[in-house]
Amino acid sequence: MSTATQQNPLAEGLHDYRVADPSIMVIFGATGDLSSKKLLPALYNLAKQRLLPPGFAVVGAAIDDLSDEAFRKRASDAITEHSRTQPIDSTVLQAFLQASFYVKVDFSKLEDFKGLQRKLDELDRARHTAGNRVYYCATPPPTYETIIEQLKAASLTAGDGYHRIVVEKPFGSDAKSALELNRILQRVFHEDSIFRIDHYLGKETVQNIMAFRFANSIFEPVWNANLIDSVQITAAEEIGVELRGGYYDKAGALRDIVQNHALQLLALLAMEPPVSFDANAVRDEKVKVLRAVRPIEDGEVAHATVRGQYAKGWVLGEKVVGYREEKNVAPGSLTETFAALRLFVDNWRWAGVPFYIRVGKRMPKRATEIRIQFKRPPHLTFGREAAQALEPNAITLRIQPEEGISLKFGAKVPSAGVKLRSVTMDFEYATSFLVETPEAYERLLLDCMIGDPTLFIRADVVEASWKLIDPIEAAWRDGRPQLQMYDSGTWGPAAAAKLLEADGREWHRP
């Protein structure tokens, strides 16, 4: 291991780290929020850690009429405001900005793409990038097809070097549109060169699900239906829709969070051990899980799902408006901001174990976690009275914000008699590793340049996810079950609690 890698926690986490080949990253929509808040700060932090390849350059491409210097000023301001590492290292920043360029591109004009090609050819010669290019679509999904077709028409996907494309979620709005998007992408790019990015998968805590399961032999014997009673996946946000009302009112919680983030967490938790930690081995096991999830039939949707929408209330001491009063939301909107589901994975390992998914906005706090609850002991050795305060054993994987893992088990209370109580052992990333957790986009952008798609979504995974969601979405559009209102600052509608109460269980409160 080199000295640089020894001093670099992020590099240590990227398998025995190999340096990416020299390349150019083109960011379509480079003047938008995603680029300003996430992509440019992530690239700066990669540069600060000396993880960018030699000769690397970034080219912004958007409709705005900017010079290179004007774009660099925007990039500098964005990095200064949003970088996770502070204060800004001026030497690193200046070097990064000097490798940043801008080309005005109207996506509807082929001539603009030809101008982009000329600029990239010029940079290839100047920076010795050998034609290697990553095209990042930091744009609304409806623009993907136009960008892809123009890239092909302008010969930006031909020639020497690799040509990769990155697209952000949502990957379609249903199974039909997802299939069409995959067809469009695969018509121009090989599947191995398509990087469907879900930033959740770049989080260190999400990656640690696999490390927790497959690097520790003590858990494998109990990781099955014999000992696990149920699994809860919660993705709660205290915020409302903020400035995303126009998008969110067409998507809703089911499409925005459940179809991608929540089902990805379920797949990681339930998958079989892959033969190795490489892209196809990991993603093969994930798609097997999604294909094994029992579809919720039309007649069962009303009993196995809950949909809700937040009304006005109080969150973290602040009075907030209801969803229908938010900007760009239809006054009588029936879009759900809360979704709860009961799913089953019909395979040998998980038969009969319910997986409960709960996602929502305007919850009491921000929390993403997975809780694995174990079955109670078959015999109360110490008697019912001694075990009155004893809860079932549980493992909680905290994805955010208090990243860590906790194990709940029973212990004897110090006293003359025998009395048992649940206690918790905690592991926290911040105190155990004493390093700041890298942003998800840092890991994912670097993997794009390396050409490692392990943490990205494959076409068949997208399609399998939508096949599970489409029947639910169709029933919800027909009003089954009815949309329920819940006060902001609560854990959702009453029906969500009843969903578990019907099974003799209750939601864990993060």
Which positions are annotated as active-site residues?
A: 261
Pairing of strands 100-104, 394-400: unpaired
d(CA 57, CA 490): 47
**Using CB atoms within 10 A of its CB, is residue 126 exposed (0-12), middle (13-18) or buried (19+)?**
exposed
Token readout for 256 is 């925005």
Computed on alpha carbons and rounded to an integer, the radius of gyration of the chain in Å comes to 24
3-state secondary structure of 299: helix
Counts of helices then strands in the chain (DSSP H, E): 18, 16
3-state secondary structure of 83: coil
Contacts of 321 (CB under 8 A, 6+ apart): 240, 312
> What single DSSP character describes residue 293?
B
3-state secondary structure of 143: helix
d(CA 133, CA 439): 23
Question: What residue has token string 């623009």?
Answer: 143
CB 325 within 8 A of CB 203: no
d(CA 364, CA 140): 30
The residues that bridge with 477 in the sheet, in sequence order, are none
d(CA 174, CA 170): 10
Neighbours of 16 (CB within 10 A): 8
How far is CA 231 from each of CA 17, 261, 291, 378, rounded to the nearest angstrom? 34, 16, 18, 20
Token readout for 510 is 């993060």
Contacts of 363 (CB under 8 A, 6+ apart): 236, 237, 238, 489, 490, 491, 492
* Length of the chain as a residue count: 510
What φ, ψ does residue 352 adopt, rounded to 5°? 85, -5
